[in-house]
Structures are given as structure tokens and as C-alpha cells.
Amino acid sequence: MLLAIDCGNTNTLFAVHDGSRWRAQWRTSTDSTRTADEYAVWLSQLLQLQDLGLGDLSGCVISSVVPQSLFNLRNLARRYIKAEPIVVGDASVNLGVTVNLPRPQEAGADRLVNALGCRVQYDGALLIVDSGTATTFDVVSAEGAFEGGVIAPGINLSMQALHQAAARLPRIAIEKPQRVLGKDTVGAMQSGVFWGYIDLIDGLVERLKAEYGGPMTVIATGGVTSLFDGATRTIDHYDADVTIRGLLEVWRLNAPKAAGA
């Protein structure tokens, strides 16, 4: 079985694939100080809930934007799965995606994995909106090349900055307001954060589509994207499995003998 790990700045996703389907998925807060041994204890307990153990895992693929966490996750695979992990971003790893940038090394591992995860599911030119710590807008051409994109602050990051920078503004939860016009402080903040992000998404998608000059399918993914379902006018598909689908394809491209693991 394959253990796929996507380590972001805020959360880390662990998922187990048995060769035909995803058996389980778990999220934990990203902590760069967590050791391989601590990960192993945590993961073994969750595996037991699925009648699995660390010994059932035979391969590992990792995407990480946190260097110190990557060191510990490599050690998790080596010590407890007894396998050398396939790591997105390593020079020897084939992602199956052409990077059409002046400095290809600047393309984030998470963005390239998303590009691959969308390419195996959708045809034609793609625009991928990933809402996490940052909100990214990435363009993949009809030929499958990663063309670049836009990086904006994530909705949670913006809300946190608003609370920290203004002494009298409280910390609030993200909710869809019934009205744009707020009648109290919390309502005004929720409207600004939520509808501001809806217009940020729609505005940037429309600008990117106009600049691209051809039809594009817009796919939204990421931890808080579901909040925007039904509120935007530009997103064609909401797909929570883009990243893990991409990681599975990375594994299949680079470990063909273990493609069914």
C-alpha cells in the first residue's frame, strides 16, 4: 500500500491507497519540530482504526513546502515503512508536467502536483484555484505545461492579519453572510472577508482567462474552498482530491513496478 503525504504550511495530509482506492485520509497541523518517531506513533494509531498497520505500507510519496518537515517525513518513510520515499522536487523525480517558466525550480511542489492531479481528470486548458495558507491561481495549458500563476494571501491569513493589526477587531469564524451590508462589527468583518474573497477569485479568474485568450476549465481545491461553493460565478468544478490524485500519479510515473501498491 502507498502512503501519500502532502505537507503544507498549515496542515499536512496523510492518505493511504491500496491499489484500487483511497482507504483513509487524515489531516494534522503542520509542525516542523515533530519527529519521525512522533509521526509514527500518531499514524500507527490511526491506521489501527482501519485495521491496518505500518507494516502494510510498502511505498511513500511526499510533497512538502516545509523543508524541516520534509527531513522528518523522509525519516518516517525510511525507518517505519522501510522504503525510500519519492519526493516531489527531487531532481530525479519525473512529474509528467512541463514547467514553462524562466526559473522552473521556483514552481512550488504543491502547485505542480495539483497540475498533474487535474491533468489526469480534466481535458484542455485548466485554471486551478487552491485555497489554503495562500490562495494560488495556476494555469496549465491544453498541452499540459505549467504556465505560471498568481499567489494571494489565503482567507484565514487575511482574517488573522485583520484581527492582529486592529486592536478592537475580534477574531471571527469564516461564514457566508446573508447580506453584504454589515450591521455590526462581526457582520461587517465577515462580509469583507467572505465577499472580498469571492470577488478576488472571480476577478483574478476572469483576468487570467482573458489574458490566456482561450477556453479554460476552472477547478477549485484546498481546505476552505467548499465555503465558496455556489457563491462564485467562475468556478466550474470543486474537487477536494486534486492533490492526492496528483501524488498517486507521481508515484505511478516514478515507481512503475509498484503502480498498484
pLDDT tens-digit series, residues 126-154: 999 998 888 999 999 999 999 999 999 88
Please indicate, yes or no, whether residues 67 and 148 belong to a single structural domain of this protein. Answer: no
pLDDT at residue 206, rounded to an integer: 97
Question: Could you list the residue range(s) of the whole structural domain that residue 152 is in?
Answer: 122-238
Q: pLDDT confidence of 6, banded at 50, 70, 90?
A: very high
Q: Is residue 188 pLDDT above 90, yes or no?
A: no
Look at residue 247 and tell me if it is in a domain.
no
Shared-domain flag, residues 76 and 127: no
User: Does 88 lie in the same domain as 24?
Assistant: yes
The confidence score (pLDDT) of residue 154 equals 84
pLDDT, tens digit, 9 for 90 and up, residues 98-121:
999 999 888 888 899 999 999 999
Q: Tens of pLDDT along 60-103?
A: 999 998 999 999 999 999 999 999 999 998 889 998 889 999 99
Examine the domain organization and report whether 84 and 137 are in the same domain.
no
Residue 163 · residue 170 · CB < 8 Å = yes
- Same-domain check for residues 126 and 216: yes
Determine what percent of the chain is predicted with pLDDT higher than 90: 67
Q: Please indicate, yes or no, if residue 243 is contained in any of the structural domains.
A: no
In one-letter notation, the amino acid at residue 213 is: G
Cα separation, 79 vs 25, whole angstroms: 21
pLDDT of residue 159: 73
pLDDT at 37 (0 to 100)? 97
- Kindly state whether residue 113 falls inside one of the protein's structural domains: no
pTM for the model: 0.86
257 pLDDT above the threshold of 60: no
Quick check: helix, strand or coil at residue 71?
helix
- Looking at the fold, whether 76 and 143 belong to one and the same domain comes out as no
Residue 109 lies in a domain: no
Does a structural domain hold residue 62?
yes
- C-alpha to C-alpha distances, 155 to 25, 41, 99, nearest whole angstrom: 24, 32, 27
Q: What are phi and psi of 11, to 5 degrees?
A: -125, 155
Which pLDDT does position 163 carry in this prediction?
67
Are 139 and 31 in a shared domain?
Answer: no
Average predicted confidence (pLDDT) for the chain:
90
Residues 9, 80: one domain? yes
Answer whether residue 258 shows pLDDT above 50. Answer: no
Among 163-177, 189-203, 227-241, the minimum mean pLDDT is found in 163-177
User: Do residues 231 and 129 share a domain?
Assistant: yes
d(CA 155, CA 249): 29
Residue 261 has pLDDT above 50, yes or no: no
Per-residue pLDDT at 226 exceeds 80? no
**CA atoms 183, 189, 192, 198: torsion sign:** negative
- The proportion of the chain whose per-residue pLDDT surpasses 70, expressed as a percent, equals 97
Give a yes or no: residue 97 inside a domain: no
Judgement on whether residues 66 and 151 belong to the same structural domain of the protein = no
CA dist., res. 123 & res. 133, Å (int): 28
Q: What is the pLDDT of residues 22-45, one digit of tens each?
A: 999 999 999 999 999 999 999 999
* Active site members: 110
Q: Note whether residue 141 is domain-resident.
A: yes
Do 15 and 69 belong to one domain? yes
Count: domains in the chain: 2
The band of 256, judged by pLDDT with boundaries at 50, 70 and 90, is low
Residues 226 and 137 in one domain: yes
Q: What is the C-alpha radius of gyration for the chain, rounded to an integer number of angstroms?
A: 19
Nearest alpha carbon to residue 231 among 181, 190, 178, 183: 178
Per-residue pLDDT, averaged over 179-200, amounts to: 88
User: Domain holding 149: CATH number?
Assistant: 3.30.420.40
**Residue 104, domain member (yes or no):** no
